[in-house]
Amino acid sequence: MEYKVLKATITKEFQVRLRAYPISFMVGCILTSFYTTFGAWLMYHYFFRGQLSDSFTGLTGTSDYMSYAIVGSLMYLFVVRTCLNVSRTLMTELWEGTLESLMLAPFRRVAYFLGNMLLQTITTFGETAIAAIIGVVFGLRIHEFNLIEFVVAVLISLYCFFGVSLILGCVMLYTRNTYITQNTLFTAMFLVCGITFPKEYLPFGLKVLGSIIPVTDCVSIMRASLLGGMPQAQVVKLAIKALAVGTVYIAMGMPLMKHAERIALEKMEG
């Protein structure tokens, strides 16, 4: 049953993306990463005059700010695309008037969300690859590529992003709002998760907030796999922490999703 639900979900979502969403949607997502990279490039060359403080090198393990910022922007693109589309699946069903029928069907929620996640991951890999090529123009350099750490970073990131998308989906379904909810979360992640600068520069409260969002550790592990500058023991520690936090998000997200579904159906019936 779960395999059939997984396959059917992937097939359905692929047809929707193929027919309903033109290539301009993908271009718009790539431009988001481009603007982030271009903004970092302008700040580094014209505001900071190409100079970095010793504290930055000590905190990040690298003096290559552009590579640091570009890897962060690529991860930001990845988390936005995966979390946005997976979290909005049930809201899309609600808008299309099929949520009630879906709830009556004997489907497995895990397989349903995983199907959306897998398809979106494949799509996002293509978008991220194009954005990475653009990043090379702005100074992206791979200093110490570690294949094992890279694979671990990708797998852990997908696991954690799935958990974040479930929580975001619960909030969206409960509030029946996507625009304000998603943009508030993504703006907060951009600020506190170390996308373009170390989170250690933030006030204490924001640092704590960043530490409980698994995106922060996922970005750090990905940077370690591509840029180096982090001891392997620290990478393992961050990986374990990210897995633990991601598991908490998933464990909370699944039961909360059922509760949000019930409330959404009650609101539909007045």
Q: Which of 178, 180, 202 is nearest to 192 (CA)?
A: 202
pLDDT at 236: 93
Q: Which of 36, 50, 54 is nearest to 193 (CA)?
A: 36
- List Cα–Cα distances, 101 to 13, 96, 116, 141, 259, in angstroms: 17, 11, 18, 50, 17
- List Cα–Cα distances, 177 to 10, 92, 98, 257, 264, in angstroms: 25, 11, 17, 15, 11
Domain boundaries, the chain: 2-268
pLDDT at 163 > cutoff 70? yes
User: Rounded distance, CA 1 to CA 112, Å?
Assistant: 11
Instruction: Encode pLDDT of 42-94 as tens digits.
Output: 888 887 777 888 888 888 888 888 999 999 999 998 888 888 778 888 888 87
pLDDT at 20: 67
Tell me the whole-structure pTM to 2 decimals. Answer: 0.89
